[in-house]
Amino acid sequence: KAARPRITVIGTGYLGATHAAAMAELGFEVLGLDVVPEKVETLARGEVPMYEPGLAELLRQHVEGIGGASGRLRFTTSYEEVADFGDVHFVCVNTPQKHGEYAADMSYVDAALDSLAPLLRRPALVVGKSTVPVGSADRLAARLAELAPVGEDAELAWNPEFLREGFAVEDTLHPDRIVVGVRSERAEGLLREVYAGPIAEGSPFVVTDFPTAELVKTAANSFLATKISFINAMAEVCEAADGDVVRLAEAIGYDDRIGGKFLRAGIGFGGGCLPKDLRAFMARAGELGADQALTFLREIDSINMRRRSHMVELTRNAVGGTLLGKRVAVLGATFKPDSDDVRDSPALNVAGQLHLQGAQVTVYDPKGMENARAIFPTLGYAPSALEAVRAADVVLHLTEWREFRELDPAALGEAVAERLLLDGRNTLDPALWRKDGWRFRALGRPTA
């Protein structure tokens, strides 16, 4: 039997680090590359530079030099080493929103390809995993052909990644589907080999062209964002009509054409993916002359942003019309639970707005404190939920951590100045809090 392909992973963020560890778990020899030496050093010690459940454990099972590890996983900063080692190179660098623009910043993807391609002296499949504007793979394939010394034996494929933060390991090892955009049977064969076994088992394998593969990712994220903004629009209507969006979501979700997932109304979506992917998609459609097809995404985005200001307004009204000097406790800073990521976090955005309007804001988050403090040093921070709510005029629940569902309303009630709680995520049980004398308000739900 021919030797198994050797894998490299370029870019070791959430996506790359998880992918590299998962490939090692499947028995492949893996070399991960990052241009940031500190990241490489951290990973080489079997440590993860961010909070991602299960990832550190998986790394430590495979990183070379760690006692008891398989040794199949190594890290480097050298593109030379990567080019010499790998048969399949996964490009997992990020494509953030460009500063002051909607479009995606492709400079990390371009730099990765421009660094790797001129060093490819042996047959190689370069597999893009980053989320990119449709048409990028075509362009990168041409660039690869131009730069690679090995010529046609260096090929490109596109293989979008759908993992969620907080579930990165699970999603990578058991994906809902595998999508590959390829131009040759060889490329398809290699990717089938890489994903054979436990990963592909039970996961549909969709083979398609470059543009479709790129679009699957942006379409999926746009759909998810649309679902969230849809239910948030219903929350606005429920508030106006005194209806209950939580019961409404439950009831429409029983229709399996609709489905109950991603129908939680609240302060909306954030993070490093959904918001910027929507915007990049609109920008790209504009370039393609198809902007009309996506004008509705502008509305999805603005419904989402409106949630944050609505939360601020609700808070201001709840404390008597002005935030000046009011003590506001904010539970949650990350954009979602089980993550330390505060990128475009609705929770932090709301906390920041309240602070700007004169409130005295104290934040607590189980994992996101350090990252939050780094971008919002002027907010107050407390080491626990109980400390955060001390003497508070109002408590805001803004990230749906399990820890917050398990809080004791009676104990918190002793610490606050006012038993007033605003649930921005609709995951707390109103009855439980009201029983202990709290005034409880949730977005899109009846007041009493």
Min dist CB 73 to ligand UDX, Å, is: 23
Q: List the one residue from 11, 266, 352, 424 that touches ligand UDX (CB under 6 A).
A: 266
User: Binders of ligand UDX: how many residues, by CB under 6 A?
Assistant: 19
Min dist CB 110 to ligand UDX, Å, is: 21
User: By rule CB under 6 A, what string of x and - marks binding of each residue 213-232 to ligand UDX?
Assistant: --------x--x---x----
C-beta closer to ligand UDX: residue 62 or 336: 336
Window 283 to 342, contacts with ligand UDX (CB under 6 A): 335-336
C-beta closer to ligand UDX: residue 79 or 401: 401
C-beta closer to ligand UDX: residue 207 or 220: 220
The reply on whether position 268 binds ligand UDX by CB under 6 A is yes
Min dist CB 95 to ligand UDX, Å, is: 12
Q: Which stretch binds ligand UDX (CB under 6 A): 64-72, 268-276, 378-386, 408-416?
A: 268-276
Q: List the one residue from 262, 305, 373, 417 that touches ligand UDX (CB under 6 A).
A: 262
What are the CA-CA distances from residue 385 to residues 89, 401, 405 (Å)?
A: 44, 11, 12
Window 156 to 175, contacts with ligand UDX (CB under 6 A): 162-165
Question: Catalytic residue at 238?
Answer: no
The reply on whether position 236 binds ligand UDX by CB under 6 A is no
Residue 312 token pair: 């601020």
Q: Which residues pair with 8 in a beta bridge?
A: 31, 89
Q: List the one residue from 13, 46, 270, 430 that touches ligand UDX (CB under 6 A).
A: 270
From the list 129, 89, 120, 127, the residue with the least C-alpha distance to 5 is: 89
C-beta closer to ligand UDX: residue 9 or 124: 9
Min dist CB 276 to ligand UDX, Å, is: 10
43 HSE (CA, 13 A, CB side): 30
Question: What gap in Å lies between CA 21 and CA 23, rounded to an integer?
Answer: 5
108 HSE (CA, 13 A, CB side): 22
C-beta closer to ligand UDX: residue 232 or 360: 232
Residue 295 token pair: 């004008």
Amino acid symbol at 17 = A
Active-site residue, selected from the candidate residues 73, 273, 319, 369? 273
Angle, vertex CA 443, rays to CA 439 and CA 446, nearest 5:
60
Residue 298 token pair: 């502008």
The reply on whether position 404 binds ligand UDX by CB under 6 A is no
- Residue 320 neighbours by CB under 8 Å, 6+ apart: none
Q: Which stretch binds ligand UDX (CB under 6 A): 40-48, 190-198, 207-215, 264-272?
A: 264-272
Classify 411 in phi/psi space as left (phi over 0), alpha (psi -120 to 50) or beta: alpha
**Other Cβ atoms closer than 10 A to 68:** 7
C-beta closer to ligand UDX: residue 162 or 438: 162
Min dist CB 265 to ligand UDX, Å, is: 7
Residue 190 · residue 154 · CB < 8 Å: no
The reply on whether position 271 binds ligand UDX by CB under 6 A is yes
C-beta closer to ligand UDX: residue 17 or 144: 17
Min dist CB 71 to ligand UDX, Å, is: 30
Residue 194 token pair: 């890489």
- Residue 256 neighbours by CB under 8 Å, 6+ apart: none
121 HSE (CA, 13 A, CB side): 7
C-beta closer to ligand UDX: residue 74 or 264: 264
Beta strand residue intervals within 332-423, DSSP E: 360-364, 380-381, 394-397, 420-423
Residue 353 · residue 417 · CB < 8 Å: no
The reply on whether position 51 binds ligand UDX by CB under 6 A is no
**Which residues are catalytic, by number?**
273
Enumerate binding residues for ligand UDX (CB under 6 A): 162-165, 221, 224, 228, 262-264, 266, 268-271, 273-274, 335-336
